[in-house]
């Protein structure tokens, strides 16, 4: 039993999510089958917002874990802690999610070491259980439990990739930056700018995305477009907002910065 209040992980207000394709229906089918789901796509394209929206739509709690390379299996599963009465077991977020029947979202899972990632294996196949080896307990996942991971294929390298035995436990949905019309709609909604301004921001992003692989690792994300729009909404000039939110975060290279600034200047 867990004394954790499941309600604290429920999303009470509908998150704004603009569907791009049939991802909502596909996710619902995967959830109905309790299939683990992998969301693949570049940074800032809506993966996290999508999971929040789906958790709200399905009325299930959501527990999110930002993965990093220092994360150990204990950070996910739990550990014994010392307190005044001696040692006390504390469940990690994955264990809490399995007990209360939450959707457990492991963000950027490829950042975690492979020996950490394998702890999810027994939860992602027919066993649906989680051995707490140090505690000597086998947790059987609540029927509502589901595991979702996000993954940016552009960052993958030989050193950092998921094992096939991990990948092949998931159904996968491809995400990418939406079409110009949909992305404009998102920037208007999230950034509170008019349509004409949002369209220009999106066009600048398209220019940068064309430079991916030609001096840029990634183009400007939808998230950065929303940031730029929010600055404009606070009274910053579009040019300064685009420089601060779109160009400067993207590159440290002075030539590339000048190229992107020039692109901004053709629009604003």
Ligand X SMILES: Nc1ncnc2c1ncn2[C@@H]1O[C@H](COP(=O)(O)OP(=O)(O)OP(=O)(O)O)[C@@H](O)[C@H]1O
* Residues binding ligand X (CB under 6 A): 16-18, 20, 41, 43-49, 107, 150, 152, 178, 186, 190, 222-223, 226
Q: How far is the CB of 40 from ligand X (least distance, A)?
A: 10
Distance CA 264, CA 200 (A): 9
68, HSE (Cβ side, Cα atoms, 13 Å)? 3
Residues 107 and 151: beta-carbon distance below 8 Å: no
The smaller minimum CB distance to ligand X, of residues 45 and 162, is found at 45
Q: How far is the CB of 258 from ligand X (least distance, A)?
A: 26
Distance CA 268, CA 249 (A): 19
| CA-closest candidate to residue 120, choices 82, 157, 165, 156 | 165
Q: How far is the CB of 207 from ligand X (least distance, A)?
A: 19
Cβ-closest residue to ligand X?
46
Residues 61 and 100: beta-carbon distance below 8 Å: yes
Number of residues assigned to the chain: 268
The smaller minimum CB distance to ligand X, of residues 91 and 111, is found at 111
Q: How far is the CB of 83 from ligand X (least distance, A)?
A: 34
Q: Which helix (H) or strand (E) is 105 found in, with range?
A: strand 103-107
The smaller minimum CB distance to ligand X, of residues 152 and 208, is found at 152
The smaller minimum CB distance to ligand X, of residues 145 and 177, is found at 177
- Strand, helix or coil at 104? strand
Q: How far is the CB of 142 from ligand X (least distance, A)?
A: 25
Q: How far is the CB of 132 from ligand X (least distance, A)?
A: 29
Residues 229 and 198: beta-carbon distance below 8 Å: yes
Q: How far is the CB of 156 from ligand X (least distance, A)?
A: 13
The smaller minimum CB distance to ligand X, of residues 44 and 61, is found at 44
The smaller minimum CB distance to ligand X, of residues 52 and 91, is found at 52
- Strand, helix or coil at 66? strand
The smaller minimum CB distance to ligand X, of residues 141 and 175, is found at 175
Distance CA 102, CA 93 (A): 10
Per-residue tokens: 213 = 């692989």
CA dihedral 249, 252, 258, 260 (to 10 degrees): -40
């Amino acid at each position: 039993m867990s004394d954790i209040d499941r309600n604290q992980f429920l999303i009470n207000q509908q998150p704004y999510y603009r569907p791009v394709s049939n991802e909502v229906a596909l996710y619902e089918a995967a959830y109905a089958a309790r299939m683990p789901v992998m969301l693949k796509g570049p940074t800032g394209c809506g993966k996290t917002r999508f999971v929040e929206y789906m958790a709200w739509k399905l009325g299930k709690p959501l527990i999110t874990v930002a993965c990093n390379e220092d994360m150990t299996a204990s950070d996910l599963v739990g550990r014994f802690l010392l307190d005044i009465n001696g040692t006390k077991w504390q469940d990690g977020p994955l264990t809490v999610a399995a007990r209360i029947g939450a959707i457990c979202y492991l963000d950027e899972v490829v950042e975690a070491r492979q020996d950490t990632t394998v702890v999810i294996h027994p939860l992602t196949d027919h066993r649906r259980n989680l051995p707490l080896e140090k505690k000597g307990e086998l947790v059987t996942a609540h029927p509502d439990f589901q595991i979702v991971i996000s993954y940016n294929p552009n960052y993958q390298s030989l050193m950092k990739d998921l094992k096939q035995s991990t990948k092949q436990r998931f159904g996968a949905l491809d995400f990418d930056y939406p079409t110009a019309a949909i992305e404009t709609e998102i920037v208007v909604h999230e950034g509170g700018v008019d349509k004409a301004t949002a369209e220009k921001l999106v066009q600048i992003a398209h220019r940068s995305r064309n430079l991916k692989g030609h001096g840029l690792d990634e183009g400007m994300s939808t998230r950065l477009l929303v940031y730029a729009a929010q600055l404009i909404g606070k009274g910053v000039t579009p040019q300064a907002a685009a420089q601060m939110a779109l160009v400067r975060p993207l590159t440290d290279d002075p030539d590339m910065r000048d190229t992107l600034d020039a692109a901004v200047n053709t629009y604003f």
